[in-house]
Structure formats: C-alpha cells, structure tokens
Structure 1
Amino acid sequence: MVNLMDKILKKLKVPKSIRIKILKYSIKNYTYSNSKNYLEELTKISEFPKGTSISTKTILDGDYDLSIIVPAYNVQDDIRKCITSLVNQKTKYKYKVIIVNDGSTDNTMKYLKLYKKYNFVTIIDQKNKGFSGARNKGLDYVSSKYISFVDSDDYVSNNYVEQLMNAAYKHNADIVEGSYQVFSEQGVLEKNIERIDVTNDPFQTLYGYPWGKAYKKDLLNNVQFPENFWYEDTMAMYRIWPLANKVVTISPIIYNYRKNINGITISSKGKVKSLDSLYITIRLLMDCDKLNMDLTQSLYEFTLNQMIMNFNRIVPLGQSVMVKSFFVMTNTIDLYFPESKYLTKNFNLKPVEKSLRSKNYRLFAAYCLF
C-alpha cells in the first residue's frame, strides 16, 4: 500500500518532502466505531471551552455612523500608532473609538490615557478576558449604525472611516470590506487588493478576518465572540455572514495588518489547545442549530474547507488525535449537513466530501496534507 500510494503521489508530481509527510500520516485507513465517543476522548486531552456565540445583547442605535472597537492587551510598543491612526481620520462621518484595555500588565494603559482628551474616544479597563471578552465588552458601548473592529497592533489609513462609510451608505450594505496590506518591521510584505464588487454571498467574497470591515449593527444583535476559545474569529462566518444580504468590497488599502510571530496562528502549533479549531466549529454549529438558523449551501462549502484547516492545525498533535478528530468531523458533517440535502458544488472539495461521508481516513488525510 505504501509503495502504491508513493507511486501515485509521484505521478501527481508531489514534492518528496510532502510525500513523506503524507505517507507518514495516511498509510492506514482506520475503521470507525459506533461504540466510541471520539469527542469525549478528545476532551480528555484538551477541554472543550464553555463559551458560546449566543447573547441577549441588542446593539443600540445612536448618533454615530461607526463605532470602532479595539481590544488591547500588552501592546505598549504598538498601541500609539494604532490609536493615533484612528483619532486622525479625515472624514465627514461621526465615529467613536472604543478601546478595551484587557488587563494589560505593561504600559498599555499609561499610553491609552493620552487619548482621553478626545471626546469620541472611550477607554474601558477590565480584568483579562482574552480577545473575545474584550470585543464583547466593547459591544456594550456601541451606539452607531455600523461597527468595525481593529486589532491594537495594527493601524488604519487616514480615510478608513470615509471609505467604509461611503460604500456602506451608498449601497445600504450589510458588510463593507476594504483591501489590506501585511507589514512587519522589514516593511510591507504583501498586499491584498479587493475587487470592487456588490454581492449577496459573503462566502464568495470576504476574507476571514474580522477587521477591515464595517458591519451593520443589526447583524450583531444577540451575537458575541465565544470566550475561552482560540480561533474565535470563526464566529463571524457562522453567525454574521449568513445574515448578510448585501456585501460590498472596495479596492483602496485601508488596513495595515502586522505579521505577528507571537500570534495564535504561529504560537499554537503543537499545543493541545489547537483542538479549539475543531471545537469552535462544533460550538458554532450547535449555536446555529439552537437558534434554528438556516444552514446554507455556502456555509456547507465553508465548513468542508474549515475541516481541512482544523485537521492541518491538529496534525502536530500526532496520529491518535488526528484519527479521533477525523471521526468527530465525520459525525459533525452528518449531523448538521445530511447527505440527502447537501452536496458540494466545488470540484476540488469532492474528495473531502467523499472521505467524510464514507469515513475514509486515508483519503481525507492524504488530501489535507497535500
């Protein structure tokens, strides 16, 4: 079997380093057992957080066009550039900046106090609750028609508010997204230029980060970021995007994203809490089900892609965790997206769908790792 798979991978011109990785993890086709609770076995390795995306909060309307929420934790070296870019906006629109100091232990709060002189800046100081807890606290102070999120180690262009709100009001958009660039101390690393577009399907258009966008405030009614989870940004795709009927993308680069070597994407590698990637997918589907939300075809396609990402984040945890996680994924897909109703329209996702439906670990692992 090993030689046959290696020959197939060679014919597909898969590089040797990747072939070795695939063969290492996907030689054996493990058999699913109805008698095993694979999720329970995983939670013995890493706890399933209790957070939820459901809240009873109704976002208040108010005199402002846009509320910008900034969670801040131990960012003394970057916070001034971020907040200065927000208070120096050139715009005709009325906006407010809501900064949540999330229990910083460095000089972050000291620098934030410099911005108290601005009457449109609100500074909240709370005990550490993580990104989700900080963003949720910020939502308590919103009083505007639209909401935006900015990370405290990033910064925005001086026409950030103007560009987002021009498009929002022109199209009565549910979500507006601008282009962004990635930077580090060495300078600009890459640019992501959006196509100017108006669509009704955010899954075909938007990038997955919560920042760089303006959301109509009604989309966040009864919504919160699940606390104590890693990868909490996934919430938007399950709880916010399906509610959006009009999505607008604009080409100007309005957001500058700092490549952070200490961010979750990089620092989580090999840690058991990376199972949160799978857990939050399950939690959000549970929340959607509890709210009787319609699970669309687009959300199904997204979830198939999400399962690939979940698996690749789990790979460093070893074969046993990978196998158990795979069978949890198959059960999740069958439970929320029954085969009688959902069939992928994406040719590239057909092997993923087939492997999940048939519980074929070898096929799934080979596809994900390749």
Structure 2
Amino acid sequence: MKELVSIITPSYNSAKYMEETIQSVLNQKYQNWEWLITDDGSSDDTIEIINKYKDARIKLEILPKNGGAGNARNKSLERAKGRYIAFLDSDDYWLPEYLEAMIHFSQEHNFELVYSNYSRCNEQLEPVIKDFSANKVVTFSTLLKTCTLAPVSTIYDSKRVGIEYFPIKSKREDHVMWLNLLKKIPKAQPLTRTLAKYRMVENSVSRKKTNIMYDQYLVYKDFMNFSTIKSLYYTANWAMNGFLKYSKFFN
C-alpha cells in the first residue's frame, strides 16, 4: 500500500498562479496524497479558485487575517496525517513524476530527507537560468552557509523524524526549519533529477537578498544561538552563496 503524502501549502493572494499549481498536483502520477492549503487572509480570488475543485483530498483552511507563511504552513502541518511531508508554495509547480520519484527514492534507500533539482523560472514558468542542481549531500554544517533545500523540491519522512514546525517570528522561516530538522538527522540526500519548477517572481521577498541580510543574521544569532562574530561569519557566507546561486553570470 502506498504511503499517504501530506502536501503543505500556504496561499495569499495567489489567484494569478493558483490554477497552474493545482493542476500540477492533480497531474501527479502518485495519487495517495492529501493537500492541506491554508489561506492566509487573501483578498483576491484565491479561495474561489481553490473551491472550484471538488476533490476531497484538497482540504482548505481559511485564516481570518494574514499571519505570515510560517504560521500558515504550521496550521497545515497541524492537520497533516501523511507519513511523508511535502511542501508546495502557491506559485510553484511540480512535474507529474515529482511525488512518485521522491517517495521511491526515499523508500528504496531508506532516506529520511530527500531533495531534487528544480528549474528556476520566470513568471511564465520558462527557465531563465540554469536549473538548481541537487548534487551534494546536505548536512547541518553545510546548510549553515547556504540554504540548499527549497520547499518546492524537498520531502521528509515524518514517521522517522516527527513533524518539524516553522518559527513564526522569523522571516527566514524555511532556513530555520531545515536547520532544526538537520539537528535531528545526519543529512539530506540528493536526487539529481529536475522534478519541479520554482517561479522567481520579480518582487518576491526571498529574492531581495540585500533587504533580508539582518533577518538572515538573526537565523544564526537568535535561532541557532551563535555568537555575534559567528553569526556575522555565516551571514557573509550565506550572502555570497546566494549571489552565486542566482547570478546569471555564474550560471
């Protein structure tokens, strides 16, 4: 019997992209999933678009006001019943083989945390720079210098590692969550296939590296409890690696 996968999605004013994201889930070859969408106070047509799909596996919770992506993901995680936890933001996209390939890879090799390549695309889901390559084993120490794991292309086995929640007081909640997860387990294993599409929306907060330097510093200072010097060291490494990750010149 195939294990249930819980897909975790926060949505906020996502009407422009929601249809494509929904279709990418419905088109999965691996069909034993539940999709836990938590809408974070949308004021556009996001909720109406989601409600058009009469699939019992799509489970929408609507929050009365915006509380941030980390809080919305946590609300979905509280409802999760699946063994495997997968993340899909409301503007991203999975290829039909994504869940099937990732679950098979995890089960075949008895891995707790796996991640894959993904395409880095414009708003039309057209690749604009070289695909991100999942070509290295990720450990806590390597993840300190660069956030290699992306929600769109990472799955973990909650039966073995438990549910890991997002810190709601950090604007770098993804990075903190992955670091906390890798305190529990030795490593994340790479599947070197491109199975997802990450939409690089022009005004995305995560793309404005210079605006979130201080938030990244707090990842180390407040959440990892590092010294000021150590926190500055890792922030500098993160900034340089972030430049290399997205620069067209280096890709």
Query: TM-score scaled to structure 1, two decimals?
Result: 0.56
SS of 2:79's equivalent? coil
Which residue of structure 2 aligns with residue 193 of structure 1? 133
1:219 equivalent to 2:161? Answer: yes
Identical positions, percent: 24
Q: Output aligned runs, 1:302-321, within 5 Å.
A: 306-309=234-237
The partner residue of 2:150 within 209, 214, 229 is 209
Aligned-pair CA distance for 1:220: 4.3
Which residue of structure 1 aligns with residue 56 of structure 2? 119
Which residue of structure 2 aligns with residue 233 of structure 1? 174
Amino acid at match of 1:110: E
1:278 equivalent to 2:206? Answer: no
The partner residue of 1:160 within 77, 98, 107 is 98
Work out the CA distance in 1 between the residues paired with 2:200 and 2:161.
29
Cα–Cα, structure 1 residues 246 and 230, in superposed 2: closer, same or farther, change >3 Å? Answer: closer
Paired positions, count: 229
Aligned-pair CA distance for 1:88: 1.6
Work out the CA distance in 1 between the residues paired with 2:138 and 2:123.
38
Aligned-pair CA distance for 1:150: 0.9
Work out the CA distance in 2 between the residues paired with 1:154 and 1:264.
15
Aligned-pair CA distance for 1:68: 0.8
Work out the CA distance in 2 between the residues paired with 1:159 and 1:311.
33
Output the aligned Cα RMSD.
Answer: 2.7
Amino acid at match of 1:134: A
The partner residue of 2:195 within 243, 254, 262 is 254
Maintained 8 Å contact 1:278/1:310: no
Work out the CA distance in 2 between the residues paired with 1:141 and 1:112.
18
Amino acid at match of 1:100: T
The partner residue of 1:81 within 9, 20, 38 is 20
Work out the CA distance in 2 between the residues paired with 1:219 and 1:211.
19
1:183 equivalent to 2:121? Answer: yes
Maintained 8 Å contact 2:200/2:207: no
Unaligned runs of 5+ residues in structure 2 are 241-251
Aligned-pair CA distance for 1:282: 2.1
Aligned-pair CA distance for 1:169: 0.9
Instruction: Flag the structure with larger Rg.
Output: 1
Which residue of structure 1 aligns with residue 243 of structure 2? none
Between 1:233-242 and 1:203-212, the stretch displaced more is: 203-212
Maintained 8 Å contact 1:100/1:137: yes
Maintained 8 Å contact 2:167/2:177: no
- Cα deviation digits, residues 105-154 of structure 1 (max 9, x gap): 11111101012x11211111112111101111010111111101111111
Aligned-pair CA distance for 1:174: 0.8
Amino acid at match of 2:218: Y
1:151 equivalent to 2:89? Answer: yes
Q: Output aligned runs, 1:1-370, within 5 Å.
A: 64-91=3-30, 94-115=32-53, 117-126=54-63, 127-185=65-123, 187-189=126-128, 190-195=130-135, 201=139, 203-204=141-142, 207-217=148-158, 218-221=160-163, 223-245=164-186, 247-267=188-208, 269-270=210-211, 274-286=213-225, 306-309=234-237
Aligned-pair CA distance for 1:177: 0.7
Work out the CA distance in 1 between the residues paired with 2:139 and 2:239.
26
Work out the CA distance in 1 between the residues paired with 2:142 and 2:208.
29
Cα–Cα, structure 1 residues 246 and 207, in superposed 2: closer, same or farther, change >3 Å? Answer: closer
Aligned-pair CA distance for 1:309: 5.0
Maintained 8 Å contact 2:37/2:60: yes
Maintained 8 Å contact 1:73/1:103: yes
Work out the CA distance in 2 between the residues paired with 1:274 and 1:230.
11
Cα–Cα, structure 1 residues 128 and 220, in superposed 2: closer, same or farther, change >3 Å? Answer: farther
Work out the CA distance in 1 between the residues paired with 2:216 and 2:192.
31
SS of 1:119's equivalent? coil
Aligned-pair CA distance for 1:265: 3.1
Aligned-pair CA distance for 1:203: 5.0
SS of 1:152's equivalent? coil
Between 1:101-110 and 1:211-220, the stretch displaced more is: 211-220
